[in-house]
């Protein structure tokens, strides 16, 4: 328990309070418990209710956003002997994110793992004040503002792109090309080109040319088609000018394509070499007219620690747009809930009407019986 200033009945006095709740409130930019006016962080005091326009107002806002308080909180939790799972639960953050901050404290020699079978956690190796910890984390904190509106964009990598060009006429002069593997009936030869950020071409016994594109990160899926069209134009001109070989531009075909998106939060979920594949039950979206690739999607640990991969641009587009679909769904939830409430109300009214109709039918049936009895009595 730490001491905070609390205003009650017009008087301000110090009271004990759980600093974890205080720090978490600060980090999330939420209000502190009712009556709390200031929070001391040992040598530093941050006022929570300054006057409008006061310099302290900016200090409070900066403090709430600044990740320095998060390092202090983690350090204090470890000091209290909390398990990583408990710290993660207390601060409402994932274990992966927590490990990111813990690794920095470990690298600075402030904490270390506890060598005890009965306790899997961390311990304090070097005692520092909050003020000293702020100085240690100063350079790192500038790059790490806890802004809830800022979303880190996932990295998408294009690799294993292979494009095949049929040869119409001419012979490739490949005497100086590299031989990587010997096959039974022919020797595939390779040559590296530096254009378009790296290409490797292979002569397939003068029947066709295969182009292997160097791996690269992309920001937009449109880059895939743009790159493929540039490669088609460049390779055609290269072989025509250098070798006098005519390539068939109308029957160019994409033989392979891998699009991998990094998911940092899921790192560690897959073992090394582990892969899960899904058949999409459709053909992958085409780049060239002759493309004929069976659409697939899979999870593996390459090229990133956790990669969501596919050979279908359409599927990848849907995957990348999924957060926006979810956000759209979230914004529609009030209307959906109101619609559901109206349906439930309508259903209740209908059920009530059905019950009333049943009672009316039973009453009419009983009344009919009584009328028949009365008529029968008159006839007798």
CA angle 140, 142, 146 (to 5 degrees): 95
Cα Rg, the chain, nearest whole Å: 35
Band (266; pLDDT cuts 50, 70, 90): confident
For residue 59, the Cα-to-chain-centroid distance in whole angstroms is: 32
Give me the residue label for tokens 């595939």.
188
Tokens representing 233 are 């134009």
Band (197; pLDDT cuts 50, 70, 90): very high
The mean pLDDT value for 31-49 works out to: 43
pLDDT at position 52, please? 43
pLDDT at position 139, please? 61
Secondary structure (3-state) at 125: coil
Contacts with 242 (C-beta within 8 Å, 6 or more apart), sequence order = 173
Band (137; pLDDT cuts 50, 70, 90): confident
User: How many angstroms separate the CA atoms of 164 and 252, rounded?
Assistant: 6
Tokens representing 222 are 């449109």
352: pLDDT strictly greater than 60: yes
149: pLDDT strictly greater than 60: no
């Amino acid at each position: 328990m730490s001491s905070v200033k609390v205003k009650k009945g017009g008087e301000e006095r110090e009271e004990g309070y759980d600093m974890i709740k205080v720090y978490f409130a600060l980090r999330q930019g939420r209000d502190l418990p009712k009556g709390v006016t200031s929070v001391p962080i040992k040598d530093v005091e941050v006022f929570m209710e300054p006057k409008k326009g006061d310099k302290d107002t900016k200090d409070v806002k900066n403090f709430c956003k600044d990740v320095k308080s998060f390092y202090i909180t983690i350090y204090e939790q470890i000091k209290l002997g909390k398990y990583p799972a408990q710290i993660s639960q207390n601060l409402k953050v994932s274990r992966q994110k927590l490990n990111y901050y813990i690794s920095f404290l470990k690298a600075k020699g402030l904490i270390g793992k506890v060598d005890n079978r009965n306790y899997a956690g961390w311990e304090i190796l070097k005692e520092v004040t909050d003020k000293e910890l702020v100085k240690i984390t100063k350079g790192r904190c500038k790059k790490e503002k806890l802004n809830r509106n800022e979303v880190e964009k996932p990295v998408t990598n294009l690799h294993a792109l292979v494009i095949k060009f049929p040869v119409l006429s001419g012979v490739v002069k490949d005497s100086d090309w590299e031989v990587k593997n010997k096959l039974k009936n022919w020797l595939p030869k390779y040559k590296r080109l530096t254009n378009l950020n790296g290409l490797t071409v292979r002569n397939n016994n003068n029947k066709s040319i295969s182009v292997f594109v160097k791996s690269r990160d992309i920001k937009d899926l449109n880059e895939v088609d743009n790159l493929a069209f540039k490669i088609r134009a460049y390779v055609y001109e290269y072989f025509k000018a250098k070798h006098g070989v005519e390539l068939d531009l109308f029957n160019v075909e994409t033989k392979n394509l891998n699009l991998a998106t990094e998911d940092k939060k899921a790192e560690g979920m897959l073992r090394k070499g582990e892969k899960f594949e899904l058949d999409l039950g459709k053909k992958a979206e085409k780049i060239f007219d002759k493309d004929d690739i069976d659409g697939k999607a899979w999870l593996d640990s390459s090229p990133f620690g956790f990669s969501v991969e596919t050979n279908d641009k359409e599927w990848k587009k849907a995957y990348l747009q999924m957060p926006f679909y979810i956000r759209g769904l979230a914004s529609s939830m009030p209307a959906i809930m109101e619609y559901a409430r109206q349906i439930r109300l309508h259903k209740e009214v209908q059920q009530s009407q059905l019950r009333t109709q049943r009672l009316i039918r039973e009453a009419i049936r009983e009344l009919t019986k009584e009328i028949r009895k009365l008529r029968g009595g008159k006839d007798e």
